[in-house]
Chains A and B, each alone.
Chain A
Amino acid sequence: MLTDLYEIYQQMLREKIIFCFSGPVSQHVVEGIGATLKLKMEVEDNDMNTIQKVFSIFVEQMQNLMNYSADRLSQEKAGGDLGVGIFVVGYKEGHFYVRCGNKIHNDKLNMIKDQVDELHNLNSDELKALYRKRRKEEVPDGSKGAGLGFIEMARKASRPIEIEYSTVNETLSFLSITVFI
């Protein structure tokens, strides 16, 4: 068994982690945790723009996990499958952050690395221009969304998107993405 749950719980409190989830992410998870996250931030009197930014980054992160996780739970009855992964929403140095991790095929990892690298040195006007340019283009191959998710997150983030990855085996890596609001 995993370490004592109370110990994990206390560690999360110490690190100001608001939510932690590990497992298959369904649309119900995104809707339910998303709504609870908004409620919690509202109860704590965060301003509406902060709440919206956190929620928006949460949704984009979840959709990446659902689309790109290499760990899948097939649910044939519903005609699809669920991405499996882990995410936390926390608070550090005056900022909320959403951190999300999942296994990923290396070709997808490289695609995401390229997308995020492209954004690192752009200011807010350049991000806005890129977002609008990309929105006019056809959806890129291999992208299940509109290819806009990372630009959307970068526009709402207070610092550059952080990417870490470690090798699982020759075809898979574990990718974790952290976005500070």
Chain B
Amino acid sequence: MEKLIIQGTKSTPYVCFDQASDTFTIRGESYPENTAAFFTPVFAWLEEFLTSEQSQRLVLDFELLYFNSSSSKALFNMFSMFERFILQGKEISVNWRYQVDNDTVKECGEEFKEDAPDLEFNLVEIEKSSRSWTV
């Protein structure tokens, strides 16, 4: 399947879904002007990939520094979609990567994990990188 790459901006995350290199990553900040418009192609790609025969196992890395409430809704819907495919026999796991002092993102991960009990959801603490925001 054709890979999906969306370059990151200040308010939208970098997305890379590439089966060839086994890379499935969403990284950065997410507070798009139009959340539905941003996430529609992401959901469409995942839906097609998971429906195809070639995807038996999928491991995704999420490394978000900040996301707003409508992105939180989109992520919830994404994890619900994964649970739906797991019930159909797919193996899907999420690595929720958060920086060591970012309690907000850690707690959000804990809540997603509780709300998606059928999904293998790993909370992964990572080193604090240099601050991402520049002017």
Interface-side segment among B17-25, B49-57, B84-92, B127-135: B127-135
Contact A148 B135 (CB under 8 A): no
For chain A, which range describes its interface: under 10, 10 to 19, 20 to 34, or 35 or more residues?
20 to 34
Set of chain B residues within 8 Å of A149, measured between Cβ atoms: 68-70
Q: Which residues of B contact A151 (CB under 8 A)?
A: 69
**Which residues does chain B contribute within 8 Å of A163, judged by CB atoms?**
none
Given that A52-B102, A136-B76 are contacting pairs, would A59 and B133 also be in contact in the complex, using a CB cutoff of 8 Å? no
Q: List residues 60-114 of chain B with CB under 8 A from any CB of chain A.
A: 66, 68-70, 72-73, 76, 101-104, 111
- The listed residue (A38, A42, A152) touching B69 by CB distance below 8 A is A152
- Structural contact, A49 and B103, CB atoms closer than 8 A: yes
Is A145 in contact with chain B by the CB < 8 A criterion? yes
Q: Are A146 and B11 in contact (CB under 8 A)?
A: no
Residue-wise interface mask of A (22-43) relative to B, using a CB-CB cutoff of 8 A (1 in contact, 0 not): 0000010011101110110010
Contacts of B11 on A, CB cut-off 8 Å?
27, 30-31
Chain A residues in 8 Å Cβ range of B125: none
Contacts of A30 in B (CB 8 A): 11, 31
Q: Which residue of B lies closest to A36 (CB)?
A: B135
A130 adjacent to chain B (CB < 8 Å):
no
Cross-interface CB contact of A48 among B10, B31, B101, cutoff 8 Å: B101
| Interface contact A35-B104, CB-CB below 8 Å | no
Separation in Å of the A142 CB from the closest CB of chain B? 15
Residues of B within 8 A of A136 (CB): 76, 115
Chain B CB within 10 A, most for which of A27, A49, A151:
A27
Residues B101 and A145 in contact, CB atoms below 8 Å apart? no
What are the residues of chain A within 8 A of B133 when measuring CB–CB?
Answer: 35, 38-39, 42
How far apart sit A66 and B32, CA to CA, in the bound complex (Å)? Answer: 12
Query: B73 to A148, Cβ gap below 8 A?
Result: yes
B33 interface residue per 8 A CB criterion: yes
Question: Bound state CA distance, A135 and B69, in angstroms?
Answer: 9
Complex CA–CA separation, A148 to B68 (angstroms): 9
| A69 / chain B contacts, CB cutoff of 8 Å | none
Q: Is there a chain B Cβ closer than 8 Å to A180's Cβ? A: no
Please tell me if A55 contacts chain B, counting CB pairs below 8 Å: yes
